[in-house]
Chains A and B, each alone.
Chain A
Amino acid sequence: MSVTEIATKKVTCAADLERVRAESSLRASVETVSVAVCTSTGCGAKGAERVFAALEEALRGLPAEAREVTLKRTGCHGFCERGPIVVVQPGDIFYQNVREEDVPEIVRETVLNGRVVESLLYEDSETGRRCVSSTEIPFYRKQRRIVLEHHGLIDPTSIDDYIAVGGYRGLTKALTEMTPEQVIAEVELSGLRGRGGGGFPTGRKWRSCAQAAGELRYVICNGDEGDPGAFMDRSIMEANPYGVIEGMTIGAYAIGASEAFIYVRNEYPLAVVRLQQAIENAREWGLLGENILGTGFSLDIRINRGGGAFVCGESTALMASLQGEPGEPRAKYVHTVESGLHGRPTCLNNVETWVNVPTIVTRGGEWFASIGTERSKGTKVFSLVGNVCNTGLVEVPMGMTLREIVYDIGGGVPEGKALKAVQTGGPSGGCIPEKLLDSPVDFDQLSELGSMMGSGGLIVMDEDTCMVNVARYFVDFLREESCGKCTACREGVAQMSHILNRICAGEGREGDVELLLDLCEIAEEAALCALGTTVPNPVRSTIKHFGEEYDEHIRKKHCSAGQCRGLFEYRIVADTCTGCGLCRKACPQDAISGERKKPHVIDQAKCVQCGACLEVCSFSAIAKV
Chain B
Amino acid sequence: MGTKTDRRDYRATVRAVAEAYGRDPGFIIPMLQDLQTDLGYVPPEAAKEMAELLHVPLTQIYSVATFYKSFSLVPRGKHIITICMGTVCYLKGGREISALIQSRLGVGPGNTTADRLFTYQPVNCLGACALAPVMVIDDQYFDKVKLGHVPDILETYAKKDERDRDRD
The interface of chain A, by Cβ under 8 A from chain B, is 41-42, 44-46, 80-81, 83, 225-231, 234-235, 266-268, 304-310, 321, 323-327, 383, 385-387, 391-392, 423, 457, 459, 461, 465, 470, 473-474, 477, 481, 483, 586, 588, 610-612, 615-616
Contact = CB atoms under 8 A, between A and B. Distances in A.
Given A228-B124, A324-B28, A391-B130, A615 B146 contact: yes
A304 B26 CA distance: 12
Contacts of B93: 611
B69 A307 contact: yes
Interface string B35-79: 000000000000000000000000000011001111100000000
A92 to B, nearest CB: 22
Contacts of B127: 41, 225, 230-231, 234-235, 267-268, 383
Contact of A423 (B63, B67, B87, B132): B87
B128 A45 contact: yes
Interface in B128-150: 128-132, 134, 141, 143, 146-148
B140 to A, nearest CB: 9
Contacts of A42: 128, 130-131
B24 to A, nearest CB: 8
B90 interface: yes
A226 B125 contact: yes
A316 to B, nearest CB: 15
B13 interface: no
B141 A44 contact: yes
B96 A611 contact: yes
B129 A383 contact: yes
B85 interface: yes
Nearest to B70: A308
A309 B68 contact: yes
A64 B90 CA distance: 52
A228 B130 contact: no
B69 A305 contact: no
Contacts of B134: 45
Interface in B14-31: 25-30
21 contacts: A45-B134, A80-B131, A83-B130, A228-B87, A229-B86, A230-B125, A231-B128, A267-B125, A305-B29, A305-B33, A307-B67, A307-B69, A307-B70, A308-B70, A309-B67, A324-B29, A327-B68, A385-B88, A457-B87, A470-B87, A477-B124
Contacts of B146: 615
B153 interface: no
B60 to A, nearest CB: 8
B158 interface: no
A229 B125 contact: yes
Interface string B103-133: 0000000000000000000011111111110
Contacts of B128: 41-42, 45, 80, 231
Contacts of B87: 228-229, 386, 423, 457, 459, 470, 473-474
Given A230-B125, A267-B125, A327-B67, A386 B88 contact: yes
A588 B99 CA distance: 12
Contacts of A266: 70
B57 to A, nearest CB: 13
Contacts of B29: 304-305, 307, 321, 324
